[in-house]
Structure 1
Amino acid sequence: MNGGDEVVAAPVGPPQPLEWKFSQVFGERTAGEEVQEVDIISAIEFDKTGDHLATGDRGGRVVLFERTDTKDHGSSRRDLERTDYPIGRHPEFRYKTEFQSHEPEFDYLKSLEIEEKINKIRWCQRANGALFLLSTNDKTIKFWKVQEKKIKKISCMNLDPLKAVGNGSVASSSNSVCSKSYLANGGYPDKSSNDFSFPPGGIPSLHLPMVTTHETNLMARCRRVYAHAHDYHINSISNNSDGETFISADDLRINLWNLEISSQSFNIVDVKPANMEDLTEVITSAEFHPTHCNTLAYSSSKGSIRLIDLRQSALCDSHAKLFEEQEAPGSRSFFTEIIASISDIKFGQDGRYILSRDYMTLKLWDINMDSGPVSTFQVHEYLRPKLCDLYENDSIFDKFECCLSGDGLRVATGSYSNLFRVFGCAPGTTEATTLEASKNPMRRQVQTPSRPSRSLSSSITRVVRRGAESPVVDANGNSFDFTTKLLHLAWHPTEHSIACAAANSLYMYYA
C-alpha cells in the first residue's frame, strides 16, 4: 500500500430480519369445510435444486410440484445457487403429478394393521431427466422413478379400421388409421371373412404399420420395495452423499441399504436391550451427514444426539460423540423426560451444525462442541404451565419438525394454531418471527394489559371455573388451538422460501 495506508474492514453486524410474505397455497380449505383424514399432509421435502417439491399424506399419496418462475424468467442455474434472494421475484410452483405410493396392509403374523400414511419422503439424485425419490410408511420403503413418457400408437394399417380382425385387438389398438384401407397393389380385404383376397399376381408390397408418437405423460413407476426389515415403526429415512446407500431408522434399530439391492440390509445400530424391561430410551430420528458418507447422527427420546462413524465398526454400538444438555438441578418433574424427547434433527448444508427440535425448544449444536448447544430457541414457552392439560389430550406427544435455511443463518419450526416460527441464529441477532399458515402470514399482535383487573366478579368466575380447561394465551394475547398444529415444513435449499403444511393445505412463503 502507498503511504502506509491501512485498510480497516467495516464491521459486519447480524443480518437484518426477513419480512415474510404469502406466496401460494394449494388445497386451501373453505370456511367450515371438513377435512378428510386421508388428505392431511404428513411429509414435505424440497429436492437439492429447489425446483421440485414433494408432499406425502395420510392416504399414502405422494404429490409432486414443479417450479415455474425460473423457466419463465430464464434464470440460469448460477442464479439459483445464490443464497441471497433476487429482488422482485418469488418462487412459483405448480402441480406436476401425483401417485399412490402406499396402500393399507395387514400383517397376518402379528395381527397388525399397517397404515398407508407417508412418514417421510427423501429425494434421490436425478438421472437422464427422471426424478427419483424414496417414500416410507411405518414398515415399507419404496423407491420411485418419475419421468415423462411419450405415448406411442400404431397407425397406417393395411386393414379397414371398421373391420375387426380376429378378436378385434388389431383394429382397436389403432386410433389413427391410414385412410388407405386397401393393399398396396389395389387388393381389398374380403368383407365376408377375416382373410384377405389375394390377387392372382400376388402382393408386391404391403403398407408396414407405423408407430407415431403423440403427447407425453408423466409416469411414476416403483422401481424397488424395501420391506420386512423393521419390527417397529420407521421414523426416518436419509440418503447418503455417496448416492448409493441410505438408512432407515425405527425405535430400536438403524439399517443401511443399497439403493440397488432390496433383498437385504445391514443393521448398523441396535439399542434393543436383552430384556425389554430395561429399555430406557428409543431412537426418534436419524440423518446422514450431508458431505461425509461415513458419518450419521441419531437422536433419542432422552434428548441426546449421537454422532457415529461407520468406519469404526460394522455395528456402531459406541458413538463417536454425544450431544446432550445437562439438567438444571431441582428442575425435574413428571414431564421433564417427555418434553426432552427430540422429534427431529437436521444437518446444516455445510455439515457443521445439527438442529434439533424437542417439544418446547429448538437447539443448534456445533458438532465440534459437545458440551452443550450453541443456541437455544424457545418455541412456545407459554405452554409450560399447561403441560398437564397437554398430557391429558396427548398433544405433548406431537412430533414437530425443524429446518435450516441454506445459508445456515436462520432456523424454523412449527407450533399450534397453524403457527410457525423463524429464528435468526447468527451471532448478535435477535430475529424471532411468528407467522400463521394463511394468506396473511403476519399474525395479528394483540397487546396484553399491563395490569389485569382484579374485580370481585372476575375472582368469582375464576373460582367457579377452577379445574375447567382455560384457553392458553401467549405473550401477545393470542389464544391457541391445539387441534390445529403445524408439524411439517421445509426450507428451500438456496432461497428464503418456506413450504409448510396446515392439515390438507400446503402454504408457501418467501422473504
Structure 2
Amino acid sequence: MPRRGEYNVYSTFQSHEPEFDYLKSLEIEEKINKIRWLPRQNAAYSLLSTNDKTVKLWKITERDKRPDGFNLKDDEGRIKNPNDITALRVPFFKPTELIVEASPRRVYANAHTYHINSISLNSDHETFLSGDDLRINLWHLEITDRSFNIVDIKPANMEELTEVITAAEFHPSMCNVFVYSSSKGTIRLCDMRQRALCDQHAKMFEEPEDPSNRSFFSEIISSISDVKFSHSGRYLISRDYLSVKVWDLQMDSRPIETYQVHEYLRSKLCSLYENDCIFDKFECAWNGTDTQIMTGSYNNFFRMFDRNTKRDLTLEASRENTKPKCILKPRRVCTGGKRKKDEISVDSLDFNKKILHTAWHPTENIIAVAATNNLYIFQDKDKV
C-alpha cells in the first residue's frame, strides 16, 4: 500500500501535571523534556516520558470493538431484574470507532535533585538511565522505588563546579556501555563492568581547542547539547552550538568528521548572547543507515549532511511547504556582498523560529522536525 503524504493526530494525553516542591519553593512544570519508545512486546505500545523531576512509563492501547448482548445488563448498562430474564444470549463484540487509551504503568520519582535532561533505554530492554545536570541514575523498568546512581559529578563544594551533564545515552547493543556529554565539550564513555559508580570514564572524546579561535564565547559554544550513537554502535555524533561532529569509538583524540551547521553566525555571537539564543539546545539524528546526519538551525531551517558525498543541504520547515507532494527547495544563506535571488541574508534570519528537535525514521526515509508548536513530517518523494 503506498504511503499517504498526510498524517493525522493518533492520540493526545496529559503526561505530567504541574507540581510545586514546597521544600525548595520550586514550581515543577508539566513540560515534557524527553520521550523514548520501548520495543513493542504485544498489541500495546509503551513509552517513557519525563519532565524535570519524574519519569513515567505509559501503556497505550487501542480499542475498536466493544462487548454487546449482555444477559444481566440492559442496553443502558443498568442491572436487570433476574426475574425478567427469560432467555440466555451469547455476548458478542460490536465494531466501534477507534478509541486510544493511555494509562500510566509506573512512576519513577524522587531520584533527581536537578532537572532531568536525558532518558535512554538499555539494549537489555529491562533497564534505563535518567540523567540530570550532575547525576545519572540506572533504573529497572519493574522497580519504581529505587535506582542506582552510576555517575555523580557533584563536587563537595558547589563553588568548584566547572561543568554539567548535558546528555546521556546507552550503546545500541552493548548493555554495559553508555556515554554522557558535558557543557565543557567533552564526551565520556563509561563501562559499568569496570565499576559500579562510573566516576572514572573508560574513554573521553575531546577535540583540542584551536588557540587562534579562542574568544569570550568559546566555552559556551563548545557545550554539547546532544549526543547519539550510530545504529551500528561504531560512531557517535555530537552537536555543539555551531557544528555537528562524528566520532569513531576507536579514536578519542579528535572527531573523524566535522560539519558546520551555521558558521555564518560566528560573527553574530554577541547579539545571540544578549537574546539568550546562544544557550539553545539543538538535537541531532542519524538516518537508518548511518550515512546521513540531520540537525536544526534558525529561521526554521534544518541541515542535512551526507557522509559519503560530503554534500550538505539546507531545507526550511514552513506552512508553505505543507501541501501534499510539495517538494522542498534548498535554501542558502548569504553572508555578505550581493544577494542572489533564492538566498536569504544572515541579517534577516528569524531567531525566534528554530528547530531544536529532529528525528529520522529507523528504516525509511521519513523525517520529523519540530518548529515551536508545529510538527512537520517530510518523506521521500517516491513514498508519497
- Pair in the same fold by TM > 0.5: yes
Change beyond 3 A, Cα 1:351–1:152: same
| Cα-to-partner distance string for 1:16-35 (whole Å, 9 max, x where unaligned) | xxxxxxxxxxxxxxxxxxxx
Question: For the residues of structure 2 that align with 1:449 and 1:336, how far apart are their CA atoms?
Answer: 24
Following superposition of structure 1 onto structure 2, how do residues 393-472 of structure 1 map, counting pairs within 5 Å?
393-426=275-308, 429-438=309-318, 439=321, 441-445=328-332, 450=337
- Secondary structure, aligned partner of 1:396: helix
Change beyond 3 A, Cα 1:257–1:444: closer
Question: For the residues of structure 1 that align with 2:213 and 2:70, how far apart are their CA atoms?
Answer: 79
In the other structure, the counterpart of 2:50 is: 136
- Secondary structure, aligned partner of 1:325: coil
Contact 1:157 1:208 in 2 (8 A): no
- 2:355 aligns with one of 486, 489, 510: 486
| Counterpart residue type for residue 140 of structure 1 | T
In the other structure, the counterpart of 1:51 is: none
Of all paired residues, the percent bearing the same amino acid is 58
Q: Does 1:219 align with 2:101?
A: yes
Deviation of 1:117 after TM superposition, in Å, equals 0.5
- 1:382 aligns with one of 231, 248, 264: 264
Change beyond 3 A, Cα 1:451–1:505: closer
In the other structure, the counterpart of 2:175 is: 293
Q: Does 1:173 align with 2:53?
A: no
Deviation of 1:331 after TM superposition, in Å, equals 2.5
Question: For the residues of structure 2 that align with 1:217 and 1:146, how far apart are their CA atoms?
Answer: 10
Question: For the residues of structure 1 that align with 2:208 and 2:10, how far apart are their CA atoms?
Answer: 47
Deviation of 1:155 after TM superposition, in Å, equals 2.9
Following superposition of structure 1 onto structure 2, how do residues 19-418 of structure 1 map, counting pairs within 5 Å?
72-73=1-2, 93-149=7-63, 150-152=65-67, 155-157=70-72, 172-174=76-78, 182-184=84-86, 207=87, 211-214=91-94, 215=96, 217-418=99-300
Contact 1:105 1:116 in 2 (8 A): yes
| Counterpart residue type for residue 117 of structure 2 | N
Question: For the residues of structure 2 that align with 1:233 and 1:448, how far apart are their CA atoms?
Answer: 38
Question: For the residues of structure 2 that align with 1:257 and 1:449, how far apart are their CA atoms?
Answer: 52
Question: For the residues of structure 1 that align with 2:203 and 2:101, how far apart are their CA atoms?
Answer: 44
- Secondary structure, aligned partner of 1:346: strand
Contact 1:136 1:142 in 2 (8 A): yes
| Cα-to-partner distance string for 1:138-185 (whole Å, 9 max, x where unaligned) | 000000111124433563448xx6xxxxxxxxx85249x99x99453x
In the other structure, the counterpart of 1:499 is: 368
Deviation of 1:96 after TM superposition, in Å, equals 1.8
| Cα-to-partner distance string for 1:439-493 (whole Å, 9 max, x where unaligned) | 16325558788569xxxxxxxxxxxxxxxxxxxxx98535310111110010111
- Secondary structure, aligned partner of 2:212: coil
Consecutive unaligned residues in structure 1, runs of 5 or more: 1-71, 74-88, 162-170, 185-206, 453-473
| Counterpart residue type for residue 349 of structure 1 | H
Contact 1:235 1:250 in 2 (8 A): yes
- Secondary structure, aligned partner of 1:487: strand
In the other structure, the counterpart of 2:377 is: 508
Change beyond 3 A, Cα 1:93–1:475: closer
| Counterpart residue type for residue 282 of structure 1 | V
Consecutive unaligned residues in structure 2, runs of 5 or more: 322-326
Q: Does 1:477 align with 2:341?
A: no
Higher RCO (CA 8 Å, separation ≥ 6 residues): 1
TM-score by length of 1: 0.68
Aligned length: 367
| Cα-to-partner distance string for 1:235-294 (whole Å, 9 max, x where unaligned) | 000000001000000000000000000110000000000100000000000000000000
TM-score by length of 2: 0.89
Aligned-pair RMSD on alpha carbons? 2.5
Contact 1:91 1:497 in 2 (8 A): no
Contact 1:382 1:475 in 2 (8 A): no
Deviation of 1:496 after TM superposition, in Å, equals 1.8
Contact 1:157 1:181 in 2 (8 A): no
Question: For the residues of structure 1 that align with 2:211 and 2:305, how far apart are their CA atoms?
Answer: 28
